[in-house]
Chains A and B, each alone.
Chain A
Amino acid sequence: MASATLTSLRKPPAIVTRFGALALFLLGWEAASRAGWISAFIVPPPSEIYNSFEMLFVQEGLVDAFLRTFGEAFAAAGLGSVIGIAVGYLLHRSKLAGLAYTDWVAAMASAPLVLLYPLFLVVFGRNSATIVAMGVVGCLPPIILKTKEGLDGVKPVLLNVGRTYGLTPWRQFRMIQFPAALPTIFNGVRIGLLFAIINVVGVEYLIVFGGLGQMISDLGDRFEIAAMFGGIVFVILVSVCFFFITEKIETWLLSSK
């Protein structure tokens, strides 16, 4: 406790330094861009990017694009979580299936599955279904792997306590295995979200259809570089929202145990 107080006396709180560093970075960027040290055409100053937001809102339909991308990524992650946790549980439950297929799922995690989008495009058509499907494909492997890892890592002593109380397999899962594995499972869901967002925006960008991905592609093609940076800032905002929501859900789940 004493050392913590000493540290806090020596250094400002991390959050102050963090926003100070961010402000310094933005100021340096603004100065470098204005002074011509970096090309203002390729990397416009932050003030110009900020000014482009009005155009993004009024002319480019930013709110609709944002909601669309957010909705697609969330739908993909939700669907992916249901399927992924079920498959992860099965791979944990059946040791043989786990031995046989876990390596395959791991290989899938690093396989460029997003390249399958032309197939999905022909099957589902050029619409949101293709984009959501690609999001699901992207988020499944980490959710499956982390669910299995979490369930495998439950301490034997906890399971033995459950057995001592004569719990049924379902109650053993609900009261012991799942809560104990929850942090790891949620870690998987978070990585899954990351992959879902990447796939959703990536496919939107590649097929020039849908929300923020399409918008950034259009702006890039028209060399509206400042507005394009603005679009990228909003993509970051989508990610922040996802992290915030999953963090809240995680806290709620852990506190309700």
Chain B
Amino acid sequence: MAAVEQIGGRAAAPRAPFWTVTRLRVAAVLVIFALWEVAGASGLFYRGVIPSSALVAKAFAGLLGSADFWFHAGVTGFEVLVAFAIGGLAGAAFGLLLGVNRYTGAVLEPFLHYLAPTPKIVFLPILLILFGVGVGSKISLGAISCFFPMALSVAAGVRQVNPVFLRVSRTFNLTRAQTVRMVYVPALVPPLASGLRIGLGVAIVGCLMSEIKLSRMGLGFSAMEYYRVFDIPSMLAVLIFIFLCAALGNMAIDRFVRLPGPQDRVRRAR
């Protein structure tokens, strides 16, 4: 180990920050917990608005043991995954088209930019009429939400490809497929990651918000039912579960985009 430290210096470097980083994170969690408890006990808020973390933990444990909760979680999970798949694939394909063909991009991308910040929830009344109050309207809203960040990220990513690489690919007479595989795809990994991240987030929000507005099942419906009967600990427990799932989704995306891509092979070849 000492030899490694002497040779590289870099191999040992992450070890020291790791423990400090962990300590910082633990400290932040403790501070947040303390602030939460103080706020709850201070009497500044209405009684029950900020329940003690022990009550929330108890409600969380209760939820995990309830078959009803897992049914709602399953419904929302299905909606989000299908919405993410449809919106993500369509967005990536459209973004690629806009990025690769500059003229099409110049013509159509402003529409995308102007539609992207539109709160998709306003389309819900139309989707409800088209697909009914079931999962169809939730999936379609989630997919529409996911489409825009994905398309914009991929289009921007394609345009940021180093023109020198493209000229080199022309010099080597690469086919279009080869250019996409060897130049565009490696350059697209970071924008794809950010597009997927934002896309997953807005797909979750789209599905859950439409559940809140009008639904008979799903976690959004479940959280609102707890809110209506002022069971704030259970409502918070549902929200914490949703946040944990979103965080797990993000970690999965990070793992996916950190897979060794062609750019790593190039680096190793050098």
Contact = CB atoms under 8 A, between A and B. Distances in A.
Are these two chains actual partners, yes or no?
Answer: yes
Interface of A: 7, 11, 14, 17-18, 21-22, 42-43, 95-97, 99-101, 104, 106-107, 109-112, 114-116, 118-119, 122-123, 191, 193-194, 197-202, 205-206, 212-213, 216-217, 220, 225, 228, 231-232, 235-236, 239-240, 242-243
Contacts of A7: 103
Contacts of A116: 239
B125 A110 contact: no
Contacts of A112: 201, 204-205, 208, 242-243, 246
Nearest to B121: A202
B197 A100 contact: no
Interface in B119-139: 119-126, 129-130
Contacts of B227: 118
A206 B212 contact: yes
A216 to B, nearest CB: 5
B151 interface: no
Interface stretch (B16-24, B66-74, B172-180, B181-189): B16-24
A100 B125 contact: no
Given A96-B17, A114-B205, A109 B118 contact: no
B116 A194 contact: yes
A217 B214 CA distance: 12
B86 interface: no
A182 B45 CA distance: 40
B24 A97 contact: yes
A97 B27 CA distance: 11
Contact of A235 (B21, B118, B239, B249): B118
A110 B239 contact: no
Contact of A202 (B106, B209, B235): B209
B125 A206 contact: no
Contacts of A200: 119
A213 B122 contact: yes
A115 B242 contact: yes
B216 interface: no
Given A43-B126, A110-B197, A205 B121 contact: yes
Q: Most chain-B CB neighbours within 10 Å: which of A107, A112, A193, A235?
A: A112
B41 interface: no
B5 to A, nearest CB: 20
A138 B235 CA distance: 20
Chain A interface secondary structure, helix, strand, loop or mixed?
helix
Contacts of B25: 100-101, 104
Interface stretch (B107-115, B161-169, B257-265): B107-115
15 contacts: A7-B103, A14-B103, A18-B110, A96-B20, A96-B24, A107-B247, A107-B250, A110-B200, A112-B204, A114-B205, A115-B239, A118-B224, A198-B119, A202-B209, A205-B122
A90 B46 CA distance: 34
A12 to B, nearest CB: 10
> Chain B contact residues (Cβ within 8 angstroms of A): what range?
35 or more
A194 B246 contact: no
B129 A106 contact: no
Contacts of A202: 119, 121, 205, 209
B22 to A, nearest CB: 8
Given A116-B239, A232-B118, A240-B114, A216 B125 contact: yes
A46 to B, nearest CB: 15
A84 to B, nearest CB: 16
A115 B125 contact: no
Given A21-B108, A110-B250, A216-B125, 8 more contacts: A14-B106, A43-B126, A110-B249, A112-B205, A122-B45, A201-B122, A202-B209, A240-B114
B99 interface: no
B14 to A, nearest CB: 9
A101 B208 CA distance: 26
B113 A243 contact: yes
A115 B108 contact: no
B28 A106 contact: no
Contact of A242 (B110, B117, B129): B117
A111 B205 CA distance: 8
Contacts of A243: 113-114, 117
Interface string B13-43: 0000100110011001000000000000000
